[in-house]
Amino acid sequence: MKKHLIMLLLLAALLLLSACGGSPSADPEYTAPIVVGFSQVGAESDWRNANTRSMQTALSAANGFRLILDDAQQKKERQITALRNFIHQGVDYIVLAPTTEDGWDTVLYEARAAGIPVIIIDRMIYGEGQIGLDENGEPLFTCWIGSDFRTQGDKAVRWMEDTFGDEPLHIVHLQGNYGSSAQIGRTASLDAGLAANPHWTLVARDSGDFTQAKAQEIIGTLLARGVSFNVIFAENDNMAYGAIEALKAAGLTPGVDVHIISFDANQRALEMVLTGEISCNVECNPLHGPRVLEVIMQLERGETPPRYTYVEEGVFTIDGLTQDIIDSRGY
């Protein structure tokens, strides 16, 4: 790994000499990029697309990288195949945004045997019954960067408790992909909230797969059946968008007839917080590219990056939110 850092430093020095009238060497050794294989879950949401763009910008040719991007289209089997292809190609680093938390042990052992560091982003993985550890307690991956999804869910539940008090809530729960860290953490929070608040009732729960179209279909079907509810707990912004469309089509006013709690805090969603259509939006920051870049450069310098890096995130409601805040965000 250190050889890449040396190459980049030499390249910078040679370019400086060239600018001063020297002639840089044509030896390709000095221009060899750091090759990173990135297995992305898919393009199911605005969050995911922002995450991909962040990685592409940070791990760009201009920064000395060659990024090999593979879109898994929501299929774990495609991701495992992609990781094996990266290993076969002899990439310098692998970045994995896993579809689900389990089922990665074998391919991660293969990456370890090949000497390729693996950086996990966004969702967590499990190994041998423990988070990221093998049977000897050794890590199956180099490091992980992402969000504390249980904490995000707890923030949403706390807002609901503070806002509605003892008011009876009839809740529709739109879950993300089953088995993903975001779905597991946010669902656990709502379950805890339901257990702690006897005046809350869960009237429906279904997976919208983090997509707008499926969430719109679920809410539309519930409304057509005459199911009554006054809160939608949507595990990402795109599902909130679908819920809003279904409510409007039924003649209901989002934020008035039905309160919507969502996650991600994309710019479009925050615009809906300003208009009152989304009542509470918990941040989930997708801009992991610079964080991955920093980890790789630490490894290139022979340093040991933190095993786990949790991103600091906030909660947005109409109180204190301005257009300037929305415009200043990178996604």
| DSSP state letter for 206 | E
Based on the number of CB atoms within 10 Å of its own CB, is 70 exposed (0-12), middle (13-18) or buried (19 or more)? middle
pLDDT at 20: 37
* 123 torsion bin: left (phi>0), alpha (psi -120 to 50), beta (else): beta
**Cβ pair 139, 133 in contact under 8 A:** yes
pLDDT at 4: 53
pLDDT at 153: 98
pLDDT mean over 233-243: 98
For the chain, give the mean pLDDT: 90
In the numeric block, which tokens belong to residue 265? 């805090």
For CA atoms 289, 331, 236, 282, the dihedral sign is: positive
Among 176, 125, 102, 147, CA closest to 312 = 147
Residue labelled with tokens 């592409």: 56
Distances (CA, A) of 326 to 194, 244, 245, 269: 32, 20, 22, 10
**Could you give the domains of the chain?**
33-146+288-300 (3.40.50.2300), 149-284+317-327 (3.40.50.2300)
Separation CA 126–CA 325 (nearest Å): 36
Q: What is the pLDDT of residues 161-215, one digit of tens each?
A: 999 999 999 999 999 999 899 999 999 999 999 999 999 999 999 999 999 999 9
Separation CA 236–CA 219 (nearest Å): 15
Confidence of residue 5 (pLDDT cuts 50, 70, 90): very low
pLDDT mean over 143-163: 97
Separation CA 122–CA 330 (nearest Å): 17
